[in-house]
A and B are shown apart, each in its own frame.
Chain A
Amino acid sequence: MLSIIKNKLHDASISLIMVTFLLSVIGLISIGSVTINQDISFTDTSFFRQILWMIPAVVFLFITFSLSRKNIYKYSPILYFLFIMLLFVPYLSTQVAGTHRWITFGSIHIQPSEIAKFLIVLVLARYLSNPKLRLNRKSAVLMPLIITAIPALIVLKQPDLGTAIIMASPVIVMMFWAGVKPFNLFLLIAPIMAILTAFNSLSFWIWAVLLLIILYLARPTMVMGVVVYFANIFLGLLSPTLWNMLKPYQQKRILTVLDPTLDPLGAGYQIIQSQTAIGSGGFLGKGWGQGTQTQLKYLPVQETDFIVSVIGEEFGFIAIFIILVLFGWMLLRMLKLAYESDNKFSSLAIIGIMVIFLTHIFVNVAMAAGMIPVKGLPLPFLSYGGSFLLSCYMMIGLVINLGINYSD
């Protein structure tokens, strides 16, 4: 196996692994800071548990890295269906923290959705890389949506809106990358825009006009154009009803992000405390273990969803800068690997995984900084969480594996 690894390692992969480890070490230091003052035995700390999880994570990284590309291609649909089944398993047992997210083995909780999210990408890549696929047909858009929607809807029902967003994020970009007509993708995005703009009559009118112009420029058939236009407008008019279908706490989360002071003790509390932690860190931070916001536990779920607030408070802007640059570099490196890949399947898979990482980073960091509603999503490599760490490492393994060009 070592020889396979040695043969397959290339420059890009080494630097990607280095960055992965570097980010993990920063994560461990930060988790250590959160747990260092807790009054529990060391083996119960999330710091220690995270170190333990590193072992299977590294093992699985090398497994996904060593798999033959042919096997990945061949078995991804079976695994995809298998994991859809597994997504139902948590429903058979009792709820953990109010949701059906975890499968429990003794004291270990596994989230099948963490694995399912990149299996979706692999299956999408397989479907979209089929040379017989007529990408210009509208039907080519339908199948990827179904592939995405099934697991995403199951996860949404758990309820785990965060993971559902992650699962849904790669499909549009992957279709774009695969060569689906931009107008067809636009038709997918248009309803979402219609819903979002419908909350303000001015923005809705602007969108209605914009839609008209785009339809004119794209010149679809007359019937098609009229149907698309009115379907979108109708959807926009319906969206207040859709808003009311959201759970009150979800509505509240969205509203409080617009003005955190609305609810200083509820959803707004987390945002205010997180921003205070970050802002008070300044350029150099307060030092390891010295963040008062962190240590006095004003911050909620600090080692998972709000790890970036801990880093911001204790290590300052400089650390945030380094982390975001590392993430940026990592994403651009994946983009490059996808561009240079010698086959369409690999290229699409890498792009999909890149989008998963990008979405995780954006949602988590923007949330901690109070830019978007509080949504429980961890930050790759840095946040505490076993299944998530495992899944991130496996995705890195896949990226490196699929990024090898045999034609060179």
Chain B
Amino acid sequence: MLQSENQVSQQKVIILRAVVAAVIVLLLGRFFQLQIYRYEQYKVKSEANIIRVQSIPAPRGLIYDREGNILVDNHPTYMLTAIPVEIDNRDSIIKKISNYIDIPEEILTRNYKKYYLGRFHPTRLAKDLSISQLSRIAEHKSELPGIYYRLLPERYYPEFINAAHILGYVREVDRNYLETANQNKQYRLGDMIGWRGLEKQYELILRGTDGARYLRVDALGREVQSSIDHEVIKPIPGEDIHISLDSDLQILIRSEMSGKRGAVIVSDPNSGEILAIGSFPDYPPDLFTGITLNEDWNSYLNNPEKPLVNRITHGLYPPGSTFKPLVMLALLNYDLVDTNKSITCRGSYRLGRRRYDCWKPGGHGNVNLPKAIIESCNVYFYNMIQLIPLDKWAEICRDFSLGNPSGIDLPSELSGNIPDINFMNGKYGVKGWTKGQLLNIAIGQGDILVTPMQMVNMINLFATQGKSYEPHLLISRESPLSTSLEYKDEIWDLLHRYMFGVTHGEKGTGKLAQPRLEKVISYGKTGTAENPHGDPHAWYVGWAKMNNSMISVVILVENSGHGGDIAAPIARKIFELYFTKYFSEELS
């Protein structure tokens, strides 16, 4: 069968020859088009491939206190990166690096995976390299193709003032953030972003614009020279901000609050500037900047003292007796009380079958309005609250910005709760709540919840007789929005007179708050808020003034006892420090 003749027509050969020739000519034509006709175009394109862009990170703006001390600084750190496309065998390179710089392979590999953005992007392997680690990398540079190190500015929080809750911290942008929140694409993986506190609040000011340099690389990807065609784009540093904190006051409140839980806020009612602010206990400011170990994290997360909670804006507390002045304002404003008329306090008040106690077991005897404020008599207010419609009282509270965010320039805060008829009906049903609950409201208990920050608004409005400014940390030229409350002058006078009595009266509950400075006069109100978690919370709210200068304080010490015993002495130290520091001449 092999012998069957081969008879192929010439025609078939010609057809197949034509097919072969056509294929070859077609392919040659295409290569001619690419390599000769469009040579220039592709040449440009391939050159674009050998230009590397290296970003030059912009330093973040610094944060200064009111006297120009640096509160948040940058300091340089070395970072080790890998360009994936230049690495042939990732595992072996990582093993080598691990040997040289003594960082476990798993950490390097985990970072590599975490920060991988693309074949040509520098991918971070390690940060905060020491000089000796760096020199070992440099020595073995030839064995580590595709591995680079560079200097970049890192956030540094000096130890002398610890205000982690306020200053906040920066964090690296991770993949999760890029996918969920990076709508404007202004961040890339590994960029620093203000994540909490002022770092977050003033991100747009503090964050600079990264620069870039263009490098030409050779066929092996080695950087040969800066590219001549592209100029270096210089980074634009972030702007510095000046905040109103006074470092000495800040240090004072920290030492006064050491070992305690609570919050302290010192502010200037005439401007709304915050002079000192702290939530205690707090956490080390660099907890979030370096590599946070899981154990560290858990020790803070599970700490029963809750150091991670910012009590200033996120702690909700019953205000206790510090709320009595509001009840008084309501009584006076709606003309429901005769300031001289007394009632008798025998230490408790009976409503139906329930007994409502005064804090003083023996009772205050005959009590009128001034005495009720100065000695903080509960029984007096149990009687009086019944004269005020709940909604009228709630209206007064809202006048003093309670039940609303305080407006402080921090990224988030809670609103607290001021119960009104709607709220009570909603919570307990239209007929579900009784007068008894109203009695609790009279002494700042029950459903009332406030944050310490909100109390700053209240006390500053008291101090300025209703003309106050939103509390703020950033010092800016124009003063922020002011509030103006219209109450009769005599009402303000009475309020001031009674709150003066609290700190000066023989039986005033806040006597320990009066500074031992002759010309400084202080006003205030103590509070001892019952709560289900143990001893009552000690409150002190008040202000001190000399001539036209004032500062106000809000002090809360959790589960510590009476406001007058625990919180008021702290206020005194704050007043004394402030006036001796800034007005030593006028004092003498």
Contacts and interface: CB of A to CB of B under 8 A. Distances in A.
Given A289-B219, A324-B24, A70 B2 contact: yes
Interface in A164-208: 173, 176-177
Contacts of B46: 276-277, 279-280, 292-293, 313
B27 interface: yes
A293 B49 contact: yes
Given A39-B89, A281-B35, A283-B35, A361 B42 contact: no
A279 B43 contact: yes
Given A39-B145, A291-B219, A320 B8 contact: no
Interface string A129-169: 11100000000000000000000000000000000000000
Contact of A296 (B6, B24, B145, B217): B217
Contacts of B85: 296-297
B36 A345 contact: no
A343 B220 CA distance: 55
A358 B23 contact: yes
Nearest to B85: A297
A39 B88 contact: yes
A280 B49 CA distance: 11
A320 B42 contact: no
B contact patch SS = helix
Contacts of B89: 39-40
A359 to B, nearest CB: 9
B131 interface: no
Interface stretch (B11-19, B191-199, B287-295, B456-464): B11-19
A160 to B, nearest CB: 23
Interface string A307-342: 000001100110011001101100110010011011
Nearest to B5: A344
A351 B41 CA distance: 41
Contacts of A293: 46, 49
Contacts of A317: 31-32, 35-36
Interface string A267-279: 0000000011111
B204 interface: no
A38 B42 contact: no
Nearest to A325: B24
A282 B2 contact: no
A398 interface: no
B227 to A, nearest CB: 14
B185 interface: no
A73 interface: yes
A39 B89 CA distance: 8
B27 A283 contact: no
B219 A295 contact: yes
B221 interface: yes
Interface residues of B, number: 45
Interface in A348-371: 351, 354, 358, 361-362, 365-366, 369, 371
Contacts of B32: 317
Of residues B16, B32, B85, which shows the largest number of chain A Cβ atoms within 10 Å of its Cβ? B16
B338 to A, nearest CB: 82
A contact patch SS = helix
A77 to B, nearest CB: 13
Contact of B27 (A37, A40, A324, A346): A324
Interface in B16-48: 16-17, 19-21, 23-24, 26-28, 30-32, 34-36, 38-39, 41-43, 45-47
Interface string B494-533: 0000000000000000000000000000000000000000
Contact of A341 (B6, B24, B36, B41): B6
Nearest to B23: A362
A280 B2 CA distance: 52
B4 interface: yes
A280 B4 contact: no
B181 interface: no
A129 B43 CA distance: 53
A229 interface: no
Contact of B34 (A177, A275, A289, A295): A275
A225 to B, nearest CB: 26
A366 B30 contact: yes
B1 interface: yes
A21 interface: no
Of residues B1, B19, B34, which shows the largest number of chain A Cβ atoms within 10 Å of its Cβ? B34
A290 interface: yes
Nearest to B41: A279
B30 A328 contact: no
Nearest to B10: A339
Contacts of A366: 26-27, 30
B277 to A, nearest CB: 49
A69 interface: yes
B91 to A, nearest CB: 13
Given A129-B1, A324-B24, A290 B43 contact: no
Contacts of A365: 27
A280 B219 contact: no
Interface string B199-227: 00000000000000000011111000000
Contact of B88 (A38, A70, A282, A289): A38
A20 interface: no
B16 to A, nearest CB: 6
Contact of B13 (A298, A312, A335): A335
A39 to B, nearest CB: 5
A347 B30 contact: no
A373 to B, nearest CB: 15
Given A297-B85, A324-B28, A130 B16 contact: no
A184 B88 CA distance: 54
A290 B30 CA distance: 23
Contact of A40 (B38, B42, B88): B88
Interface string B544-580: 0000000000000000000000000000000000000
B3 interface: yes
A278 B31 contact: yes
Interface in A237-295: 275-283, 289-295
A344 B4 contact: yes
B178 interface: no
Interface of B: 1-8, 12-13, 16-17, 19-21, 23-24, 26-28, 30-32, 34-36, 38-39, 41-43, 45-47, 49-50, 85, 88-89, 145, 217-221
21 contacts: A39-B89, A130-B4, A131-B4, A275-B34, A275-B42, A280-B45, A282-B39, A292-B49, A296-B221, A312-B34, A316-B35, A317-B31, A317-B36, A335-B17, A339-B13, A344-B7, A345-B1, A345-B2, A346-B6, A361-B23, A362-B23
Given A73-B2, A278-B42, 15 more contacts: A39-B88, A130-B4, A176-B12, A275-B42, A283-B35, A283-B36, A297-B85, A312-B31, A320-B28, A341-B6, A345-B2, A351-B16, A354-B20, A366-B26, A366-B27
Closest 8 A/B residue pairs (Cβ): A279-B42, A280-B46, A295-B219, A328-B24, A317-B35, A279-B34, A131-B4, A280-B42
